[in-house]
Structure 1
Amino acid sequence: MNTYSPSSDQFTPAHCDLHFNRVGYGAMQLAGPHVWGPPKDHAAAVAVLREAIALGINHIDTADFYGPHVTNALIREALHPYRDGLTIVTKVGFVRGADQSWMPAAAPQQLRDAVHSNLRKLELEALDVVNFRAPGLDGADGSSIGEALAVLAELKKEGLVRHIGLSNVDARQVAEAQRITPIVCVQNHYNLVHRGDDALIDALAAQAIAYVPFFPLGGFTPLQSSTLNEVAAALRASPMQVALAWLLQRAPNVLVIPGTSSVAHLRQNVAAGGLALDAAALAALNAL
């Protein structure tokens, strides 16, 4: 595996002045079990964030409903004042119930409150990118998102949001949003064995819009495949490194944000950016 620096591989979306290193970091796993409460090891969580920056990551994904409020507070503690060029992407559209449930929260005042909460917790004057996390717990539900996007567009005009993205959406919802405001990124469930967004990725690539797969390593059910294991063994890499390398080679607009609460695992994830999959490896993986 080649030595890899995230800054050597960037993507700049259309309508955007942000340069994303394609290997980023997702902060969700820094919260406690089930993305609830504080981390088991506070010092380790802070260390992971600081190591991510030291490794050259310039793109951190978070949300105020992780914890809730936990990951944003950790990011501020570990990294504020923020290094120039660091992009923090957050999400609005959901809140957490006292029973740890995930509840849609897309009314206009709820979205405004969420943006202001993210600003306070992260100690920022403006949010770099805000993704609207559309309703639907098991994937895009196809509902209209126009009202929510109009609110975010207003917040953008007010200078509180710099760029707008989408999460948990289908192609029709993307098109609806684009009639209201430019979209710089789409964040959906996608990985080596969950490929329902293939056509959407290609369509977004043609428009120079970033595609950010969440659960790139399978989420709460890690990817399991004998083929994946065999390809990894031949490359002297871990299966998870191969899964990340496959995503990076899938399309140039794909950004990866694998999460971890371990510095050692973080380093392995970043190193995956230097893993090149040859035609035989790609063919085997694409056949899954």
Structure 2
Amino acid sequence: MTTNASPAGVTRAGGAARLGDRTVSRIGFGAMQLERLHADRAAAISLLRRVVELGVDHVDTAQFYGDGFANGVIRDAFRPEDGVVIVSKVGADPNPGGAVRLRPAQRPEQLQASVEDNLKSLGLDQIPVMNLRRLDTGPGLRAEADQVVGIDDQLAVMTALRDEGKIGAIGLSGVTVDGLRRALPAGIVCVQNLYSLISRDDEGMLRLCLDEQIAWVPFFPLGGAFPTMPKVTGAPAVAAAAQALGRTPAQVGLAWLLHHAPNVLLIPGTAHTGHLEENVAAGTIALDDAVMAQLDAVAG
């Protein structure tokens, strides 16, 4: 049974859904862009307090977001009574000064060290959900040499950490459908892969997750993260729907994801309160069958 009321007593943003054995808001918050507020920590904390006020109780982060900055702000901003479920990830480390700001950290001992770093920076005894960021699919980093590690070896250390109580549940990110199937016996609670209205290569994996009661948490839900990546907001059908509904194209792109499958959880990120409020408001948009048909027809 789920309830639309968050622990903070406000309506859950986008409604409620399951994340493993927890109930969370279907619209969460991705902390990656908090690094843009590095020079104004008070503004970052204020933004996260607004997250709670808007009924968001599902926050996605990583130690490598701002080399610990995002985790530190999360630690200082949230209170136990807020009931915010923290989801973090391992599989990469900061690479300060490098041409690429991250480097792979796929080996089991690196995963364990990253979990410890997350616990310390977040000030937690247990991280509710920890995603293993595989490097099987793009965009972004790919594993080479000793960073090419089998998923079974990685899951062995992740399940050991879960047994120790340092993490509550295991998720996967950047995984193939074969990798997910291999990992299912470990009790996977969520999958984070590239997916949006215009990037639907993983539709079969989304459906597998739905069948297995695994949350589907798309990253880059509006596309456009890289210069060569198209944007959802550039699709004519999205623009037409937005105009008809009196909403922004970005809101329509997010609303489509929520309507597309009941196991979808969103983690749009921003460093601006106004954008945060717009993202949360996407959860109130009703898309009728005709609009959904028009959006479904957009080439994915």
Aligned residue in 1 for 2:12: 6
1:38-90 CA distance string (max 9 Å, x none): 635333221111100111111000000111111101111211x3335310000
* TM-superposed deviation, 1:121: 0.4
Aligned residue in 2 for 1:52: 51
* TM-superposed deviation, 1:96: 2.1
1:111-164 CA distance string (max 9 Å, x none): 111011100100000010000000146259897311111101000111101100
Aligned residue in 1 for 2:27: 23
Kept after mapping to 1: 8 A contact 2:57/2:82:
no
Aligned residue in 2 for 1:119: 119
* TM-superposed deviation, 1:101: 3.0
For residue 223 of structure 2, what is the amino acid of its counterpart? G
Matches within 5 A, 1:133-144: 133-136=133-136, 138-139=138-139, 144=150
Matches within 5 A, 1:67-146: 67-79=66-78, 81-98=79-96, 99=98, 100-136=100-136, 138-139=138-139, 144-146=150-152
For residue 175 of structure 1, what is the amino acid of its counterpart? R
| SS of structure 2 residue aligned to 1:161 | coil
Among 262, 266, 269, the residue aligned to 2:272? 262
Among 187, 210, 229, the residue aligned to 1:205? 210
How many matched pairs? Answer: 276
**Further displaced range: 248-257 or 144-153:** 144-153
Aligned residue in 2 for 1:196: 201
| SS of structure 1 residue aligned to 2:81 | coil
* TM-superposed deviation, 1:171: 1.1
Kept after mapping to 2: 8 A contact 1:46/1:75:
yes
| SS of structure 2 residue aligned to 1:121 | helix
Whether 1:149 and 2:155 are equivalent positions in the alignment is yes
CA distance in 1, matches of 2:156, 2:200: 30
Whether 1:218 and 2:223 are equivalent positions in the alignment is yes
* TM-superposed deviation, 1:209: 0.6
* TM-superposed deviation, 1:226: 2.1
CA distance in 1, matches of 2:80, 2:75: 8
CA distance in 1, matches of 2:188, 2:248: 34
Relative contact order, higher structure (CA 8 A, sep 6+)? 1
Whether 1:271 and 2:281 are equivalent positions in the alignment is yes
Aligned residue in 2 for 1:35: none
Kept after mapping to 2: 8 A contact 1:6/1:270:
no
For residue 178 of structure 1, what is the amino acid of its counterpart? L
| SS of structure 2 residue aligned to 1:169 | coil
When residues 199 and 239 of structure 1 are mapped into structure 2, their CA distance, relative to the original with a 3 A threshold, is same
Aligned residue in 2 for 1:246: 256
- Structure 1 stretches of 4+ with a deviation exceeding 4 A read 139-143
For residue 261 of structure 1, what is the amino acid of its counterpart? A
